[in-house]
């Protein structure tokens, strides 16, 4: 999911943070009747599609579209076909707030959504929650670790857990002098605090902590300071252009040193930009990244991947998302909401929201299902279900978060991402603040 934001953004962030101390309100459905729907139901992918984190949006849409297609192929939800729309937040709270308000006010038959991301979650989660719209956020901000929002769900670990996983991997590799080099956007900065504390607790030293202004033509001053600090590993997340410029200048002035990034640093735009700047051979020798662990195999993943690859022009280059843990869970979120609608016998979010945990709950006697079609058939037969998704088993805690382990992956010149290590959820929990 900056400690050097503009004055206006700092003020906005403080105001938003104050909202988080209040429990979200949700009206009771007792005595009310579900809304009647006609026509196609809509799910939104609410994320940056432009701006520094423009890669987040396509990653999310690549999960929603295959899920919608599998639902429609099974006959839809309660007689309704479903569709996905993209809502661009631009990765900025100032743009995301009106985008959320417009989405809620003007989208016909809007019944659920993926998002928001860390860039705009603090500003928009309260708005979306008040609209009684279930959201499966890819926000990693620790502010939501103990969320009180009734319509907020999270299937991926928070950013601060990613920072811990990076620290553990680096220390286990023998690195002791770390450099934190992160962009000044909210998404990148969410990784930093626990990275710093975890690496120190393990016995390492952060010798320099740099916050980069994004998309500058040169980072020579910052690179010179980094070289003078003599780190043996760089921890990073910044947008593709920023890291490409920074690391290529490091290569020219000093030579590359090992780099450990976050999940956005294995997305295709980052790999293309940085690989083009430093060379793919150099990248393969020096790069690792932490991302939520997913086996990317099994019956649910098979259904997901088949639908993804069949999406055609709806999802450009679909195979790039086949093993992406965020795309997998974005797909799962749409399936979960659709199954909860079946359980509630209505697409009305005010009614089906409360049943979301039930469709992934491993209750005694529940039938394990791996697709919308399997779940639909089991529900029609009067069975309890336990949906195990493309991203693996889902276990919501009392705050409607489901988190797990991290894996460290590398980069090969053939485009694959070999697994380098797995850091358990238990080990991460020991070092989280």
For 77-123, the pLDDT digits (tens) are 999 999 999 999 999 999 999 999 999 999 999 999 999 999 999 99
pLDDT score recorded for residue 4: 33
pLDDT score recorded for residue 415: 85
User: Would you say 311 and 318 are in contact if contact means Cβ atoms under 8 Å apart?
Assistant: yes
Identify any residues that bridge with 235 across adjacent strands, giving them in sequence order. 180, 260
Of 2-11, 53-62, 247-256, the poorest mean pLDDT is in 2-11
Tokens of 246: 């920074």
Tell me the pTM. 0.81
**Residue 361 CB contacts under 8 Å (≥ 6 apart), including other chains:** 386
pLDDT score recorded for residue 28: 52
Mean local confidence (pLDDT), 397-425: 91
Residue 102: other Cβ atoms inside 10 A? 11
The most distant pair of C-alpha atoms in the chain lies apart, rounded to whole Å, by 70
Angstrom distance (rounded) from CA 389 to CA 339: 12
**Domains detected in the chain:** 38-158+299-387 (3.40.50.2300), 159-291+406-431 (3.40.50.2300)
Residue 280 has pLDDT above 80, yes or no: yes
Tokens of 76: 């839809």
pLDDT score recorded for residue 158: 84
pLDDT score recorded for residue 21: 41
In percent, the amount of the chain with pLDDT more than 70 equals 93
pLDDT score recorded for residue 228: 98
Residue 5 has pLDDT above 70, yes or no: no
Among 233, 207, 202, residue whose Cα is nearest residue 432: 202
| Distances from the Cα of 254 to the Cα of 228, 230, 401, angstroms | 10, 11, 43
pLDDT score recorded for residue 404: 82
- Helix or strand holding residue 169 (H, E): helix 159-172
**Residue 145 CB contacts under 8 Å (≥ 6 apart), including other chains:** 158, 399, 401
For 342-370, the pLDDT digits (tens) are 999 999 999 999 999 999 988 889 999 99
Mean confidence (pLDDT) of the chain: 92
Residue 23 has pLDDT above 90, yes or no: no
pLDDT band at 433 (very low <50, low <70, confident <90, very high): low
pLDDT score recorded for residue 142: 84
For 28-65, the pLDDT digits (tens) are 566 789 999 999 999 999 999 999 899 999 999 999 99
- In angstroms and rounded to an integer, the radius of gyration of the C-alpha atoms of the chain is 21
Mean local confidence (pLDDT), 65-86: 98
Long-range contacts of residues 12-21, Cβ cutoff 8 Å, at least 24 apart: 12/93, 12/94, 12/123, 13/93, 13/122, 13/186, 16/93, 16/122, 16/123, 16/126, 17/122, 17/143, 19/122, 19/126, 20/122, 20/126, 20/143
pLDDT score recorded for residue 30: 64
Angstrom distance (rounded) from CA 55 to CA 119: 13
Tokens of 39: 């026509």
In percent, the amount of the chain with pLDDT more than 90 equals 82
Mean local confidence (pLDDT), 156-174: 93
Helices 121-130, 93-106: inter-axial angle, 10-degree rounding:
20
In sequence order, which ranges of 173-279 are alpha helices (DSSP H)? 186-189, 192-202, 220-229, 240-253, 268-278
pLDDT score recorded for residue 429: 85
For 202-214, the pLDDT digits (tens) are 999 999 999 999 9
pLDDT score recorded for residue 29: 62
For 307-329, the pLDDT digits (tens) are 999 998 999 999 999 999 999 99
pLDDT score recorded for residue 2: 36
């Amino acid at each position: 999911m900056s400690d050097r934001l503009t004055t206006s953004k700092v003020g906005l962030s403080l105001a938003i943070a104050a909202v988080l101390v209040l429990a979200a309100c949700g009206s009771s459905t007792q005595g009310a009747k579900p809304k009647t729907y006609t026509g196609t139901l809509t799910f939104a992918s609410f994320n940056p599609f432009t701006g520094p984190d423009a890669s987040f949006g396509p990653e999310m849409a690549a999960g929603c579209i295959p899920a919608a297609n599998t639902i429609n192929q099974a006959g839809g939800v309660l007689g309704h076909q479903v569709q996905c729309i993209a809502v661009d937040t631009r990765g900025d709270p100032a743009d995301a707030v009106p985008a959320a308000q417009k989405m809620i006010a003007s989208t016909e038959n809007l019944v659920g959504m993926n998002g928001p991301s860390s860039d705009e979650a603090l500003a928009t989660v309260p708005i979306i929650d008040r609209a009684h719209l279930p959201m499966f956020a890819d926000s990693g901000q620790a502010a939501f670790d103990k969320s009180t929002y009734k319509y907020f769900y999270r299937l991926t670990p928070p950013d601060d857990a990613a920072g811990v996983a990076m620290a553990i991997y680096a220390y286990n590799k023998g690195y002791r002098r770390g450099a934190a080099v992160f962009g000044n956007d909210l998404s990148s900065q969410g990784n930093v605090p626990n990275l710093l504390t975890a690496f120190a607790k393990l016995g390492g030293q952060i010798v320099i902590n740099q916050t980069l202004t994004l998309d500058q033509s040169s980072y020579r001053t910052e690179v010179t300071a980094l070289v003078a600090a003599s780190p043996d590993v760089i921890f990073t997340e910044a947008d593709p252009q920023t890291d490409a410029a920074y690391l290529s200048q490091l290569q020219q002035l000093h030579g590359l040193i090992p780099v450990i990034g976050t999940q956005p640093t294995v997305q295709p735009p980052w790999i293309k930009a940085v690989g083009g700047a430093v060379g793919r051979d150099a990248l393969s020798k020096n790069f690792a990244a932490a991302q939520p662990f997913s086996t990317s195999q099994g019956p649910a993943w098979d259904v997901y991947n088949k639908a993804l690859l069949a999406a055609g022009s709806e999802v450009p280059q679909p195979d790039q998302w086949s093993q992406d843990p965020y795309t997998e869970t974005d797909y799962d979120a749409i399936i979960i909401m659709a199954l909860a609608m079946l359980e509630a016998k209505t697409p009305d979010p005010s009614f089906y929201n409360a049943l979301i945990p039930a469709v992934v709950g491993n209750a005694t006697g529940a039938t394990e299902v791996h697709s919308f079609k399997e779940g639909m058939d089991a529900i029609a037969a009067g069975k309890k279900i336990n949906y195990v998704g493309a991203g693996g088993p889902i276990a919501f805690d009392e705050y409607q978060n489901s988190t797990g382990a991290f894996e460290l992956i590398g980069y090969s010149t053939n485009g694959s991402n070999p697994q380098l290590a797995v850091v358990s959820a238990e080990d991460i929990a020991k070092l989280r603040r």
